[in-house]
């Protein structure tokens, strides 16, 4: 029994695997006004299709659907076949509100109600 596959069959299997990864993934990267679908996400980086994405580096924004989750500083680490791996130099969780510069007590009144009878 051999494990040899013809080039055409192997290419077809690789294309089907990549298409499945693109379909399942909700994550995407925005860099320079362009969006790229993330195929694999790890704690230290992510993987993109090398045909879709150029050699990215610098600041990028990472989205889960429409929700902004990280602002990252990345560098391309290695190409593996038709995939490009990127590593985080820094990743900061995105927030939809500005951080407070004071302590907010949980029992602080929200509004003042007056009795105007």
Kindly list the domain boundaries of the chain, sorted by start residue. Answer: 27-93
Question: Does domain 27-93 sit in CATH 3.30.200.20?
Answer: no
**Nearest one of 27, 97, 21, 38 to 67, comparing CA atoms:** 27
Residue 21: pLDDT band with limits 50, 70, 90: low
Residue 117, pLDDT score = 66
Cα separation, 23 vs 5, in Å, equals: 25
Higher-confidence residue: 52 or 73?
Answer: 73
Q: Which residues of 85-116 are buried (b: 16+ CB within 10 A; e: fewer)?
A: bbebeebeeeeeeeeeeeeeeeeeeeeeeeee
Look at 24-28, 81-85, 88-92 and tell me which has the smallest mean pLDDT: 24-28
Of 31, 26, 90, 32, the residue nearest 63 (C-alpha): 26
Which pTM was predicted? 0.66
The pair of three-digit structure tokens given for residue 93, joined into one six-digit string = 């969780």
Mean pLDDT (whole number) for 90-116: 81
């Amino acid at each position: 029994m051999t494990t040899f596959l013809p080039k055409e069959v192997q290419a077809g299997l690789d294309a089907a695997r990549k298409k499945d990864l693109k379909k399942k993934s909700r994550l995407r990267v925005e860099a320079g006004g362009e969006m790229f679908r993330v195929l694999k996400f790890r704690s230290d980086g992510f993987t993109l299709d090398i045909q879709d994405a150029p050699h990215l580096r610098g600041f990028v924004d990472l989205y889960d659907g429409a929700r902004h989750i990280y602002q990252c500083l990345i560098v391309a680490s290695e190409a593996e076949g038709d995939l490009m791996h990127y590593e985080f130099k820094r990743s900061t969780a995105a927030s939809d509100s500005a951080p407070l510069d004071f302590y907010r007590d949980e029992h602080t009144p929200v509004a003042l109600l007056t009795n105007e009878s």
